[in-house]
């Protein structure tokens, strides 16, 4: 035993002696993570760091923004959106915190990239600038959402430590828009139009056009949109339905998309949107259209259904309507389902998705058809369908709206709107000066056009805020489809699900309480 003790002591003393001779022996580089000491050396390192920012782009969450508007109902009663729709959101609501946290996590990654990219010793400066442009665009994407959701927010353009994070303050939203405009302009200079599957010049310019439209800076919005239009790099995909199916992926209409791949990087947008009957063993129908959006689709002759000359028949409400309605919504027994059957939602019947047939079936009698691809039917939670975040139709409508708000109504405004309306698979009659020539008439038309063209793509919440329409369209009981019951024509009413909107409070979300507990310098928005 004593001999063993002596040996242990000798080994211990030997180790101490060696350590004394080699003071840096324990200063090793961790082998379970990438250290800054060995990173930021090659162009490949820079590409890896830029790639780490891409996953922050929205995916299936696009529906959740419309799910807080008048156009989609959050159909599952225990979903976090429900309390917000009904006006019950508080400073502790998880949805507010998650949006804030996700945005600033992305901004932190982007700032880390921008703080370190110039350490890379690379002779190909064009490649370095291209990566900078991609990351700056991704950072701006998050700031656009933060500005629209929260108003004044901290503008962080470089990395900060924990202590600094406890003292930052909110910057005026005007400064956020200034930063977005500047960063996206610089990014556009560095980016090529075609950049493989990565962010290109069109995404930077398109997001700038969107941001400046949201900010009410119409001249900048129109200029950015016109640069894209004049480039002739993009065009409308002829088939509106296929645009949101696998056939339309990577088409010339897409400026920015979140890319996915089945079995590798998949999502569940099919399971989120499809009718309950099309998702064996799952829930489905998380968000469902309301009558409010259905009524915005004009007749095939271009007239609104409210026009006595339109030919609209309330007893046959889906006849001769804008084709985009059929492509975007599961409507009635005429709509084919992915399993080969037909959609049936009439209450009190044995239709495939009759209202109240289950707790998860549609409550309004409608379901979203965009992004419901029959290829995903057999594996609904393993979709590899790309999610479009910016497309050429939006650019055209942004240009038209900005020019109308500027009072610069010329033929280019009509051309932009009519390109969208006269897509090959839509083919509505053109808007002409004889139909509408005043700013007020054209404003109404372009807003309607935007609402139906971009339905369920995540724009409605922001649009009704910037148009200051939310207090008009949000309050009240959500309404569903009309149907015949005992000889009477009745409409589904979701009594007990009253939505509310306080214009003195609800145009902005509150700064999350958890953030204000960590940083008392963050002031709160009015009404919270």
Contact 69, 293 (CB under 8 A): no
Place of tokens 């800054």: 36
Judge whether 56 and 134 are in contact, CB under 8 Å: no
d(CA 46, CA 111): 13
* pLDDT(213) > 70: yes
Q: What gap in Å lies between CA 436 and CA 445, rounded to an integer?
A: 9
**Block residue for tokens 């211990």:** 12
160-193 residue pLDDT tens: 999 999 999 999 999 999 999 999 999 999 999 9
pLDDT at 80: 80
For the stretch 45-86, pLDDT in tens is 999 999 999 999 999 999 999 999 999 999 888 788 888 888
DSSP 229-268: HHHT-----S-TTGGGSGGGTT-TTEEEEE--BTTTB-B-
Q: For the segment 261-274, what is each residue's pLDDT rounded down to a tens digit? A: 999 999 999 988 99
Return the SS3 of 422: coil
Q: Does the pLDDT value for residue 279 go beyond 50?
A: yes
Q: Is the pLDDT of residue 26 over 90?
A: no
Rounded to an integer, the average pLDDT of 97-119 is 96
Average pLDDT over residues 285-291: 94
Q: Which residues of 328-355 are buried (b: 16+ CB within 10 A; e: fewer)?
A: bbbbbeebebbeeeebbbbbeeebbbbb
Distance CA 528, CA 476 (A): 22
Q: Which residues contact 107 (CB under 8 A, 6 or more apart)?
A: 139, 142, 143, 156
pLDDT band at 14, cuts 50/70/90? very low
Least Cα distance to 515 among 146, 203, 48 occurs for 146
Given a contact cutoff of 8 angstroms between Cβ atoms, the answer to whether 448 and 455 are in contact is: no
* Interatomic CA distance for residues 311 and 30, integer angstroms: 72
Higher pLDDT, 500 or 423: 423
pLDDT at position 32:
54
Answer whether 120's CB lies under 8 Å from 40's CB: yes
Q: What value does the mean pLDDT take over residues 362-386?
A: 95
CA distance 151 to 158: 20
How many CB atoms within 10 Å of residue 241? 16
pLDDT, mean over the chain: 91
| Confidence (pLDDT) at 31 | 55
The residues, any chain, with a CB within 8 Å of residue 404's CB and separated by 6 or more, are 413, 439, 442, 443, 446
Strands 479-485 and 488-493: antiparallel
Residue 29 is predicted with a pLDDT of 55
Look at residue 371 and give its three-state secondary structure.
coil
Report how far residue 333's alpha carbon sits from residue 38's, in angstroms, rounded to the nearest whole number. 62
Least confident of 16-25, 102-111, 448-457: 16-25
Predicted confidence (pLDDT) at residue 19 exceeds the cutoff of 50: no
Largest interatomic CA distance in the chain: 108
Using the predicted structure, report yes or no on whether residue 18 has a pLDDT greater than 60. no
Closest by Cα among 74, 89, 80 to 497: 74
Q: Using 50, 70 and 90 to split pLDDT, how confident is the model at 37? A: low
Mean pLDDT, to the nearest integer, of 103-112?
97
| Residue 197 banded pLDDT, cuts 50, 70, 90 | confident
CB atoms within 10 A of CB 177: 20
pLDDT higher at 1 or 404: 404
Q: How far apart are CA 520 and CA 241, in angstroms?
A: 49
User: What sections of 52-124 are H helices per DSSP?
Assistant: 62-66, 80-85, 94-116
pTM of the model: 0.92
| Residue range 318-369, pLDDT digits in tens | 999 999 999 999 998 778 999 999 999 999 999 999 998 888 899 999 999 9
37 touches 249 (CB < 8 A)? no
Measure the CA–CA gap between 476 and 494, rounded to whole angstroms: 10
Q: Which residue has the tokens 């004049």?
A: 230
DSSP structural state of residue 431: P
pLDDT at 5 over 90: no
Cβ neighbors of 486 (< 8 A, separation 6 or more) are none
pLDDT at position 7, please?
40
Measured distance CA(313)–CA(125) in Å, rounded: 63
């Amino acid at each position: 035993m004593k001999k063993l003790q002596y040996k242990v002591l000798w080994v211990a003393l030997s180790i101490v002696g060696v350590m004394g001779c080699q003071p840096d022996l324990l200063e090793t580089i961790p082998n379970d993570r990438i250290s800054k000491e060995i990173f930021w050396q090659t162009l490949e390192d820079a590409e890896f760091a830029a790639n780490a920012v891409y996953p922050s782009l929205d995916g299936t969450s696009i529906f959740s923004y419309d799910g807080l508007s008048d156009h989609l109902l959050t159909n599952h009663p225990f979903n976090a959106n429900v309390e917000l729709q009904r006006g019950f959101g508080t400073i502790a609501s998880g949805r507010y915190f998650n949006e804030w946290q996700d945005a600033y996590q992305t901004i932190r990654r982007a700032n880390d990239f921008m703080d370190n990219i110039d350490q890379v010793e690379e002779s190909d400066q064009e490649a370095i600038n291209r990566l900078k442009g991609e990351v700056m665009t991704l950072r701006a994407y998050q700031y656009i959402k933060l500005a629209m959701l929260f108003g004044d927010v901290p503008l962080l353009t470089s990395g900060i430590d924990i202590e600094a994070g406890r003292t930052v303050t909110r910057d005026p939203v005007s400064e956020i828009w200034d930063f977005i405009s500047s960063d996206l302009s610089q990014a556009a200079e560095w980016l090529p139009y075609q950049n493989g599957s990565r962010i290109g010049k069109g995404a930077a310019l398109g997001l700038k056009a969107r941001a400046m439209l949201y900010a009410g800076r119409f001249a900048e919005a129109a200029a950015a949109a016109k640069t894209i239009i004049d480039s002739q790099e993009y065009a409308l995909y002829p088939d509106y339905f296929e645009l949101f199916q696998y056939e339309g992926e990577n088409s010339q209409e897409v400026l920015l998309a979140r890319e996915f791949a089945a079995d590798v990087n998949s999502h569940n947008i099919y399971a989120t949107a499809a009718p309950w009957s099309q998702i064996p063993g799952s829930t489905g129908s998380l968000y469902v259209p309301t009558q409010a959006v259905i009524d915005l689709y004009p007749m095939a002759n271009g007239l609104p259904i409210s026009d006595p000359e339109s030919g609209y028949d309330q007893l046959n409400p889906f006849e001769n309507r804008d084709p985009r309605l059929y492509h975007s919504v599961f409507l009635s027994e005429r709509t084919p389902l992915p399993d080969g059957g037909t959609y049936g939602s009439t209450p009190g019947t044995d239709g495939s998705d009759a209202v109240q047939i289950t707790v998860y079936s549609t409550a309004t009698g409608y379901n979203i058809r965009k992004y419901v691809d029959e290829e995903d039917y057999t594996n609904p939670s393993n979709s590899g369908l790309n999610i479009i975040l910016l497309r050429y139709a939006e650019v055209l409508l942004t240009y038209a709206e900005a020019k109308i708000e500027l009072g610069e109504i010329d033929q280019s405004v009509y051309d932009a709107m009519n390109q969208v309306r006269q897509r090959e698979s839509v083919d509505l009659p053109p808007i002409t000066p004889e139909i509408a020539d005043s700013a007020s008439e054209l404003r109404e038309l372009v807003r309607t056009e935007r609402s139906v063209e971009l339905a369920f793509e995540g724009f409605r919440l922001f649009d009704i805020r910037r148009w200051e329409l939310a207090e008009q369209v949000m309050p009240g009981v959500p309404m569903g489809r009309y149907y015949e019951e005992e000889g009477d024509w009745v409409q589904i009413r979701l009594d007990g699900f009253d939505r509310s909107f306080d214009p003195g409070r609800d145009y902005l979300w509150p700064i999350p309480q958890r953030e204000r507990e960590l940083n008392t310098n963050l002031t709160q928005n009015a009404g919270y």
